[in-house]
Amino acid sequence: MSRLLQALALVAVFAAPSFSQEDATPSQTDRGQAALERWNRLDPEQQERMRGRFERWQKLSVEERDEYKRRADELARARKEALRQLRKEDRERFETLDKETQDGVLRELTHLMLVERTQRLQGKLPPEAQDRLEGASPEERRAILHELRRGELHKAGERALEDLAGKLGLTEEEIEAIRALPHRERHERLLALKRRAIESGVMDGMRPKDVDERSWEKMRDLPPRDFARDLFRHKDHGDMSRRDRKRRQVQEMLMPTLDELIEVSRVPGAERRALMENLVRTRVQAQAPDNDKLPKGLLEDMQSATDHEFIRRLRHFTRPPRDSEAHPRRPGEEGHPRPHDQRPGRAGEAPRPGPPGGPDHPRGGDRPGSRRGRDGKPDVPGAARRPQ
């Protein structure tokens, strides 16, 4: 029994706090047996590392333990979200894999998703925030990114709360009660309000076109967070621009297949990133001759690039451009002024008088017909001026 308890303490440190014969349930017994089996699969060196981690855990303060648990919860959510990133044709196959292979695939998917999320966040940062990250250590970068992400989430939450409060007619007391909630509870509450707004018809986003009635009912039974995620995943993209659609297609091409994930999960950790980049590049280049999703000439320009640079540049293409570059328009389209002589109703007309002081609009006192001579009288064009 002492060996089992040691394994439970080391392997399942975040699990249930107590385990006794009297209050053990079948599920607890199963978890205990699974933990012991995982412990027995570890080699002596891995078991020693696990003991070291447990000893360090026992020395942590309550606040430090809470922070580790928060990170563990975030990682668990990320793994759950990562599973949704699997290609549709691979999801059923994933369920047939053995537990060890499933864990390896999820580990790789989670890593890729977190890297992509970090890159997206960094791409949206102002220059001063990017400067902070530039010279920071890995630990400092994580802290800075976490701080910035919390700030952005808070701003987005405030905007969402104001919008939902107006649509649902929330009182000031209800709004302040939501603001007073801890971060995670506030986020869950906002997701529940958004769901309520969608179901009541006061917000756009009812059943997506590609979801049938039965699937929609199943979605509506999901917890708020999962409902919002599924709704976004099925969101109708019919109004996407051609350029945005191409970016999304390239993103899908960069998503590794299940076979690639399995192959990568079975090699030593130091080799995984390089192997994944090589496998994805090989597949993308093999599909290129019959594929119109890639920007014209991009692959030819990257023939001599390393695998890492190849993937980096393709990922860069998938990121939406910033601000004024986000929706480039041709002259005359909305957001881009036409040349003066091409504007409706103005073709061929001389410029109209504008505000005083412009280069083409002299000040009122300097306009022809209003200029005055030294005697203060209007200066008539063509009239000779009397000598003084």
- How many helices and strands in the chain, by DSSP H and E? 17, 0
Looking at residue 91, its pLDDT comes to 82
pTM above 0.95, yes or no: no
Q: What is the DSSP track for 264-291?
A: HHTS-HHHHHHHHHHHHHHHHHHHGGG-
- Collect all residues with Cβ–Cβ distance below 8 Å to 200 and sequence separation of at least 6: 168
Looking at residue 195, its pLDDT comes to 78
Looking at residue 238, its pLDDT comes to 45
Kindly provide the residue ranges of all beta strands, DSSP E only, lying in 180-265, ordered along the sequence.
none
CA distance 115 to 82: 12
Token pair recorded at residue 186: 């506030």
**Residue with structure tokens 């029994």?**
1
* Phi, psi dihedral angles at 129 (to 5 degrees): -70, -40
Per-residue pLDDT of the chain (388 residues; tens, 9 = 90+): 444 444 444 444 344 333 344 444 445 666 677 778 888 888 888 888 888 888 888 888 888 888 888 878 877 777 777 777 787 778 888 888 888 888 888 888 888 877 777 766 666 677 777 777 777 777 777 777 777 777 777 787 888 888 888 888 888 998 899 888 887 788 788 888 887 887 777 665 555 666 677 776 777 667 666 676 666 665 544 445 566 667 777 777 888 889 999 999 888 888 888 999 999 989 888 877 666 666 666 777 788 889 888 888 887 777 665 544 444 444 444 444 444 444 444 444 444 444 444 444 444 444 444 444 555 554 554 454 444 4
CA distance 221 to 224: 9
CA distance 314 to 347: 44
* Phi, psi dihedral angles at 193 (to 5 degrees): -65, -40
Burial 13-36 (b: 16+ CB within 10 A, else e): beeeeebeeeeeeeebeebbeebb
| Contact predicate 179/161, CB 8 Å | yes
Looking at residue 357, its pLDDT comes to 44
Looking at residue 220, its pLDDT comes to 67
Q: Select from 193, 188, 185, 191 the least CA-distant residue to 167.
A: 193
